[in-house]
Amino acid sequence: MNPSFRVWWLIVVACFALHLSVLYTVVVLVVYAFIEQVDRARKFHRRTKDLEEVFGGWEQCKDDPDTEEKGELTRLRLVGQSQLIVARLMQILVRME
C-alpha cells in the first residue's frame, strides 16, 4: 500500500497557507501517517474477520466423514493439494482490497 501523496501534498500546502512552522507541518504529517496506518490495519482485520465468518466454522459431519456441515449447509471436505490451494486463495483474498 502506498501512502496517499495527494493528501500529504494538500496538508503541506494548507500548512504553508496558514503560515505554520516546519515543525508543526512535520507533526501534522506524522499524525496523519499514523492515523492512516491504524485505519489500514483496522480494514485488514475487519476483512479477515468477515472472511473467517464466511469460510470458517465448518465441522465434520457425524454421518459422513467426507463432508462438512455448517448449520443446514453441507460441503465436500477438501484433502491434500486442493486444501492447500484453497488456503492460499483465502490468503490472497485477505490481502486484496
User: Is there a domain that residue 15 lies in?
Assistant: yes
pTM above 0.85, yes or no: no
Instruction: Indicate if the pLDDT at residue 1 is higher than 60.
Output: no
Looking at the structure, tell me whether residues 60 and 35 fall in a common domain: no
Q: How far apart are CA 91 and CA 88, in angstroms?
A: 5
3-state SS, the chain, equals CCCCHHHHHHHHHHHHHCCCCHHHHHHHHHHHHHHHHHHHHHHHHHHHHHHHHHHCCCEECCCCCCEEEECCEEEECCCCHHHHHHHHHHHHHHHCC
Tell me what the mean pLDDT of segment 38-65 comes to: 86
User: Is there a domain that residue 50 lies in?
Assistant: no
Looking at the structure, tell me whether residues 32 and 65 fall in a common domain: no
Domain that holds residue 24: 1-42
Tell me what the mean pLDDT of segment 26-48 comes to: 92
Task: Provide the pLDDT confidence category of residue 3 given band limits of 50, 70 and 90.
Answer: low
Looking at the structure, tell me whether residues 89 and 60 fall in a common domain: yes
Model pLDDT for residues 11-25, shown as the tens digit of each residue? 999 999 999 999 999
What is the count of structural domains for the chain? Answer: 2
Looking at the structure, tell me whether residues 7 and 38 fall in a common domain: yes
Look at residue 57 in the predicted model and tell me its pLDDT.
79
User: Is there a domain that residue 49 lies in?
Assistant: no
